[in-house]
Amino acid sequence: MRYVISELYVGQSAEFTKTISESDVYLFAGITGDHNPMHVNDIYAKQSRYKERICHGMLSSSLISTVIGTKLPGNGSIYVEQDLVFKAPVLFGDTISAIVEITEIDIEKNRVKLRTYCKNQDGTIVLDGYAVVIPPKYVESRW
């Protein structure tokens, strides 16, 4: 799925939902090298403020990139900017919805601004922010 800028409108939104598994977190730690014990050491995490291991903030943030890169604006989108505020921990087994909504469209520069946030299965917003994205052009959009 993809939209070029002329097909986009303010208020348009899309989302992607995924239950975050232990294997997601451990693979993410392996890829990035971020073995912060908050994420991969259950004994340590039990003594921490959250009392259990939590997901990497950048893992749940990456689900925003999923919506942008595959749904809205979609395939071929290029990230320009992403601002993130982490509001609540994501626990193993949480089902996270990443939601993006277009707030501004600059046709001349071919850029859109989106509110981007993630909520868990209880409706708690776990992270909030905005993104600036270059939507795909037609030449990049035949797939």
Q: Which residues bind its own copies (CB under 8 A)?
A: 16, 18, 24, 27-28, 30-39, 41, 43-44, 47-49, 56-59, 61-66, 69-70, 75-86, 139-140, 143
What is the DSSP-derived secondary structure letter of residue 88? S
**Closer to its own copies by Cβ: residue 11 or 114:** 114
Q: Quick check: helix, strand or coil at residue 140?
A: helix
Question: Least distance (Å) from its own copies to the CB of residue 6?
Answer: 19
Residue 82: φ, ψ to 5°: -145, 125
Question: Least distance (Å) from its own copies to the CB of residue 102?
Answer: 18
In the chain, where do the E strands start and end? 13-19, 78-86, 95-106, 111-119, 125-134
Question: Least distance (Å) from its own copies to the CB of residue 9?
Answer: 22
**Closer to its own copies by Cβ: residue 12 or 18:** 18
Residue 6 has a CB neighbour count (10 Å cut-off) of: 10
Residue 126 has a CB neighbour count (10 Å cut-off) of: 23
**Closer to its own copies by Cβ: residue 82 or 103:** 82
**Closer to its own copies by Cβ: residue 103 or 110:** 110
